[in-house]
Chain A
Amino acid sequence: MQIRDGLSESLGPEYPRKSPAVEALKPYPMGMRVLAVVLAWLIPGAGHFVLGKFGRGLLFLVLIAGSFLLGLSLHGRLYAPVADPTTLLHVDLISVLWSFAQVGTGLCYILGHVLGFGANYRPGAPTYEYGNTFMFLAGLLNYLVIHDAFDIAAGRKR
């Protein structure tokens, strides 16, 4: 399978294009694919480490975990679904959405709850919403990173 370098083409004729690699991308065994996806969720970037993409893995680890820790330090809140008997589904939908976003960080979210870091939130703090935003960003970006790890393991990209 060749990778079409459509992005290089859009940069203009003066941009030097390398010819794409001719060897086909081979998918990893199914066990390795599952391991990569699970690890990618648990520890941001770990899926890429397992697949041999150390640079990318380290970059994702630093950016995503760093974003999550920044959110915590800005007094953001670790969300968990909240029951709300006044709604149709008896749950506060916003808290479910925010929790889903933050769960994307895997162990960061789990350890945050277990170790009580999420209890440090201060809604009155001027940085509260920034903190929440960075924690949501970390989780949602990690979902994309998990997909990237899966695509590499499935032989769809290098």
Chain B
Amino acid sequence: MHLLMMSLYAAVTAIVLAAIEPRTTETRAKVIHGLKIFGAFLGIGLALSWLLFPIPW
């Protein structure tokens, strides 16, 4: 459930941020940029969750 919510959150944010990206007007570049943002959200979220996992509280 949490992974689904995190993925949905990352997807919405990535699409909006890619759509308003000012540095390029090319659709393909925006799509790639959006995918990078999505991957970064998920990757950092997963990395942080594993880093925090050993903490007992």
Chain B residue numbers with a CB within 8 Å of A108 are none
Instruction: Digitize B11-38: 1 where CB-to-A-CB distance is under 8 Å, 0 elsewhere.
Output: 0110111011111111001001100000
Number of A-B residue pairs with CB-CB distance less than 8 Å in the complex they form: 61
A56 CA to B1 CA in the complex, in Å? 30
The main secondary structure of chain A at its interface with chain B is helix
Q: How many positions in chain B have a CB within 8 Å of any CB in the partner chain? A: 20
The chain A residue sitting closest to B11, CB to CB, is A63
The reply to whether A7 and B33 form a contact with Cβ atoms under 8 Å apart is yes
Q: Enumerate chain A residues within 8 angstroms of B8, measured Cβ to Cβ.
A: 70, 134
Main secondary structure of the interface of B (DSSP, over half): helix
Whether the Cβ atoms of B20 and A145 lie closer than 8 Å is yes
Q: Are A64 and B16 in contact (CB under 8 A)?
A: yes
Are the C-beta atoms of A5 and B25 separated by less than 8 Å? yes
Determine the distance from Cα of A64 to Cα of B16 in the docked complex, in whole angstroms. Answer: 9
Chain A interface (Cβ < 8 Å from any Cβ of B): 3-8, 11, 15, 18, 20-21, 56, 59-60, 63-64, 67, 70, 126, 130, 133-134, 137, 141, 144-145, 147-148, 151, 156-158
